[in-house]
Amino acid sequence: MRKTKGFTLIELMIAMVLGLFVIAVVIITYSMTVSGSSATIKSARLNHDLGLAMTLIVNDIKRSGYWGGATSNADASTNPFMDATQRPAFYNPVGGLATCVVYSYDADGDETVDTDEYYGFRLNSGTIQMRLTGTTNANCTDGNWTSGEIVDGDEINVTNLTFTPTYSCLNVTTPASTIQATTTECSTVSDSVIELRQVSVSLTAQLVDDTAVSKTVTEIVMFRNNRIL
């Protein structure tokens, strides 16, 4: 009579250990895949939201100083959107960098400055606010600022919003080739000067539920409407 041979206890234990090892490898691989996919989705969400916020800021800043009365025979130095209280200005410096920009433009083309033609962006408590109305660009507290948010404050915490302006002063009187780059606005006594302006906008944010996911975007904006002194 032939005896039926089975597995010994040691063989069974080895098989169980190998089986558990294989299962552990599968679980770890799955977890890493899920974690990687989650991080990718979070990063894509952050990139998307910051991209939209930057596009909104940049496109609106480009409109600053637009005047419906700027016809071929108009005196650009009389542009009311470029006078001392209406032209673009930067405030709330932190470490030498402004965290707020205010400006105005002739949205309805009626050639006058209306209260709903004052605009601006500022960083406030981890989010970006946009100005809807105002009476002056002499500070960053004037007017009505959005209670809503440019980015979703429940999902994204904005840690940095800075504006770094650069002014180029072109003397068109004596001589026309004289131009000077400066970090302050141009000034004039008797000559005519064209002030060319640009600003570097930097925006940094992180996810509220995962601060390790962070993103910084920077863009340089050329103002389309020059200031004439």
State the pLDDT at residue 226: 87
What are the DSSP calls for 110-126, one per residue? Answer: SSS--GGGEEEEEEETT
Mean of the pLDDT values across residues 76-88? 86
Q: With CA atoms as reference, report the closest residue to 135 among 157, 108, 117.
A: 117
CA atoms within 13 A on the CB side of 76: 12
pLDDT 10s digits, 153-202: 788 899 999 999 988 888 887 766 667 777 788 877 677 888 888 999 99
Kindly report the average pLDDT of the chain as a whole number.
84
C-alpha dist (Å) from residue 155 to 29, 121, 126: 28, 20, 11
Mean of the pLDDT values across residues 90-96? 78
Q: With contact defined as beta carbons under 8 Å apart, do 159 and 136 qualify?
A: no
Is the peptide bond prior to 175 cis by the omega test (within 30 degrees of 0)?
A: yes
pLDDT 10s digits, 32-62: 766 656 667 777 888 888 899 999 999 999 9
pTM summary value:
0.77
Cα–Cα distance, 20 to 27 (Å, whole number): 10
pLDDT 10s digits, 66-75: 999 888 788 8
**Domain ranges (residues) in the chain:** 42-228
